[in-house]
Amino acid sequence: MKEFMEITKALADENRVRTLYALQGRELCVCQIIEFLGLAPSTVSKHMAILKHARLVETRKEGRWIYYRPADPETSRTVQEAIRWVFRSLEKTGRYKEDMKRLKKILQVSPEVLCHPK
Partner DNA sequence: GCTATATTTCGCCACATGACGAAATATAAT
Partner DNA sequence: ATTATATTTCGTCATGTGGCGAAATATAGC
Binding mask 33-72 for DNA (x = CB under 7 A): -x----xxxxxxxxxxxx--------x-x-xxxx------
Amino acid letter for position 73? P
Q: By rule CB under 7 A, what count of residues binds DNA?
A: 31
Which listed range, 26-34, 38-46, 83-91, 104-112, lies at the site for a second copy (CB under 8 A)?
Answer: 83-91
Q: Can you tell me which of 23, 48, 56, 82 binds a second copy, judged by CB under 8 A?
A: 82
Q: Can you tell me which of 44, 56, 96, 103 binds a second copy, judged by CB under 8 A?
A: 96
